[in-house]
Amino acid sequence: MKKIGIIGAMQVEIDLLINKVQNLTKFTYAGFPFYHGELFSNEIIITNSGVGKVNAAACTQLLIDQFSVYSIINTGIAGSLDEAVKIYDVVISSDVTHHDVRVEQKKNLFPFQETFQADKQLIELALQTCAYLKLNSTYHLGRIVSGESFIEDIEEKTRIVKNYAPACVEMEGSAIAQVAHINKVPFVIIRSISDNADENTTLDYKKYEEMAANQSAQIVLGMLSEMKWP
């Protein structure tokens, strides 16, 4: 039985998952909660990283060091950066990058990566799960970008879209991806859209946050039910 790590930035993003876990035990390391148990014959460790890339990176490294997870799934919500990606749609990461770090810095400094590629097996499993669940929304495979700020300014949104052509934006995925990459741990990011990263973001976010978070968690549950490792 291989260990699967699941990371959400907020409790609302992981509550549905925690409530399904059998033989649940809670651990705390450096202030981060880790929920350990079994789900669909998989050994699961679910954690709440808190918001932002620094928190996400620290939490991801602890998850790897303390539990030796085989793979990582990041679940949660995000803001759309593509007109084709609507509120309540789902984005599965093809690759992930920081939108608030210069390209030259990413290329020339450790770990020398402009983007971090999600695991092909996990991507395929996520796509198959979305198709099987027959979601009341559209699912997309695309780039996800992350930064240390909540995007609700149209000028900032335009800059990010011009430079990176992403499907959506959030605040943790690229940090999780970078830590997974340097530790050689397969990962995928699953995000359900809660807003359009514009001047209406705050209102949309409050309205759709829980619904979008639960949809992402439902996809993770579907993936776990089908996971068969060699």
Which residues form the catalytic set?
Answer: 13, 195
Q: Which residues contact 203 (CB under 8 A, 6 or more apart)?
A: none
Which run of H or E residues covers position 193? strand 187-195
Q: How many CB atoms lie within 10 A of CB 151?
A: 24
Q: Are strands 168-170 and 139-146 parallel, antiparallel or unpaired?
A: parallel
Beta strands in 21-171 (DSSP E): 22-29, 32-39, 42-48, 71-80, 90-98, 116-117, 139-146, 168-170
